[in-house]
Structure 1
Amino acid sequence: MPSARRNRWGLIATYAVLALAAAFVLFPLLWALSASFKGPTDVLASPPRWIPPTFDFSNYTRGLFAPKFLRYIGNSLLVVAGALVVSVGLAVHAAYAVSRFRFRGKDALLFIIWSTVMIPGVSIIVPLYLLAVDLKVYDTLFVVIIAYSAWLVPTLIWLLRGFIETVPYELEESALVDGCSRLKAFYVVVLPLLRPGLAAASVLVFVTIWNDFLLAFSLTLKDENRLLQVGLYSFVTELGIEWGPLMAATIGSTIPVVLAFALLQRQFIQGLTGGAVKG
């Protein structure tokens, strides 16, 4: 087989696999979009229809634009912002320390930090619940922020550590010679060069918190303290599932994630590849 024909068939096969993967990912979203415009009878119709006979826009009024749903979005954004400041702030300093300093037991400490990532989240729900109750912070957004931050810090340390190691140490030495302290050299020289890595860490924090259900469900009880992913569960009632409003709210909940990744896509990919070079 000539080389050009072989390359053409290889390209066709590549695009075919990518098209199948895209269809596999987009099919649930397209079906959710279709169901968000259907009435209760059309959702359960057999055989199912992609295009409803009549479009029911009230699902978005009851789901996406309901006051309680907007409150859920506000709670989620507040938790994301708080966890972002706490987790990235701690992780970037810890990553700098393990990247630039040598001290006894560093490798063992890194191994212990990384091993915490392997612990299933469901196994620590009960201890977290009891600790939150004892500290009288249960059913508050504060405990949710702290819990998510503690969960994300180990992963962020390893991500940012690899990226910090790509920054030439000579730049810091020049700043130290000019009279900067070690901490000032970090803030003035190193930190501005970590913007792609920080963007990657920010997207990781945002997507993790936005998509998680178990932790937010276990640490909050009142409706006014629920996060978005827990609020979606409120459409599952004892009388049945409100498919139309649920799908409308689900479609709306994906928009912030898509926008965040679209705006920070270049920095996210650059940060991941930069962190993978020497991680």
Structure 2
Amino acid sequence: MTQAAPLPAHPLTVAAVQATPVPGDLAGNAASAARLVGRAGGARVVVLPELYLPAYHPPTLAADPAGTDLAADGDGRVEDPRLDPLRTAARDGGTTVVVGAAVRHPDGRRTISALVVDPTGAVRAAYDKQQLWSGERELFDAGRRGATVVVDGWRLGLGICYDGCFPEHGRAAADDQAHGYLCPSGYLAGSAHRRDLYYAARALDNTMYVVFANAVDGADPWRFNGGAAVYDPEGRPLARGADTGEDVLAATLDPAALAATRAAHTMLADRLPDQGLPRTTLLA
């Protein structure tokens, strides 16, 4: 049984971004990320797509790891002057920014990570993607643990793209008392059905808000389909982007709506500790 965290005291405005980074141009993409944060209209949390800083472009990530990676120290801190515009945007806006990056750790691991830029401008590799998809396994190492970021009393679990396809990942965030789930992602054109189903389901499964950011446009075969969204705790979109074109989708997370949903849909409280176990097999 999951014990619910205290509800946040105040609403939280968040923004999900869909945008098209330039492969390999980490400095330029950091500057465009800063511009997009500025478009978010005072949102306290802004989520940008998976691998946004180097761009989700495997040929470039394979050919130029030195140019596309960011180095993290043993505590996950990232110091790189290419991120200065993004640090400034976070400080100026009083914003927590979650943005995708390729990170090199002191032990040599290379991960698909969610950087968190806090309102002081400090940058930390907060979460490393645990569920690697397809060819990602040839370039990256899997993350070892989940992570939760706290903003204004809101507990927000972190996931990256394919993580959100696993109900257990969202549930682990809920088990850590998350009120929401932030998912930088990179869904390719042709995947709109799954894109729109997975993250709405994670919201309803766990009666928590979901903020889904996605890359958009680009050139085949690495063309992405947008649809960035913020889902309420019943899986309804509060904001959703089109399948093409840059956009910043803002919505407000409401603690009263969260409380009402959890009072009406009590899956977290009702869940059995060994759901579905033991099992009986019937032969017909």
Q: Which bin holds the TM-score, normalised by the shorter protein? A: under 0.3
Higher relative contact order (CA 8 A, sep 6+): 1
Structure number with higher helix proportion: 1
Tell me which structure has the larger Cα radius of gyration: 1
Length-normalised TM-score, structure 2: 0.25
Structure number with higher strand proportion: 2
